[in-house]
Amino acid sequence: MKTEALQPAAMTLIFTPNLVREFGRKSLREDTADTAVDVYTQALQTTFKPTARAKSVPEFEERWSKAIVRYAKIYDIILRSYIERLGPSHFRLQYIKSITQTQHDFQKLSIAIHDLSDLYQRHVADSINIATHYDEIFQNYEPQTLDRVNTLLRESNYGITLLYLLLSGDISGPLWVILKVKDRSHESLAEIERTFKLPTESRLSGSLEGNFDFFLNPRGR
């Protein structure tokens, strides 16, 4: 039986403020859209700003680890609300459009565009490639390895989101924090790629066809 902790295709979205405001808004009920914005705004205060305001490396590491766990829950709440209101088919269309739109949002930044875009493309590629080859991976790796890669995907998702918020000015933080976030995000992706030896010929290879029922009917949470 597949572990429910690993839903890699569902982790490709990077929730920028613009994406949360606009995702499926024409189709979503106003209360759903507003709820997503409210939950995301809370996440800025409770998971992103504290990490960005760390005063030392040990404090950064402690806040980073706690924030990933908190943000994973918030991420799932937002994603689940979109799926429940849009339905799986319409959600999937919006989801695919948003991946491209996020890349465009990143390109609007005036600094570190290449670094952020490269991390984002790797994150999307790794998530989709793992989802595409999930059956093979499930047969060849221990459950602990799958749990670990779930954590790493969550970590890179959080890191790329925080990096965007810092570079866009939505959140303020010193240069050393920006560099630390970039390094931690890179390390997470590098560990995934070492573990699974995923194809790298096409950064966006794979498929977004997937089962999102985990978010519609979650168990154990």
Quickly list DSSP for 108-174: T-SSSHHHHHHHHHHHHHHHHHHHHTHHHHHHHS-HHHHHHHHHHHHHHHHHHHHHHHHHHTSS---
Mean pLDDT over 67-83 rounds to 90
Q: Residue 35 belongs to what H/E stretch?
A: helix 30-43
pLDDT number for residue 107: 82
Q: Looking at the domain assignment, is residue 220 inside a domain? A: no
Q: How far is CA 92 from CA 20, 84, 99, in A?
A: 15, 12, 11
CA distance 9 to 36: 20
In a domain, 101, yes or no: yes
The more confidently predicted of residues 208 and 120 is: 120
Residue 191 lies in a domain: yes
For residue 173, what are the domain limits?
8-206
196 located within any domain: yes
Q: How many domains does the chain have?
A: 1
The answer to whether residue 148 sits within a structural domain is yes
**Residue 51 included in any domain:** yes
Query: pLDDT category, 180, cuts 50, 70, 90?
Result: very high
Position 182 scores a pLDDT of 95
In a domain, 29, yes or no: yes
Q: Is residue 27 part of a domain?
A: yes
The model carries a pTM of: 0.84
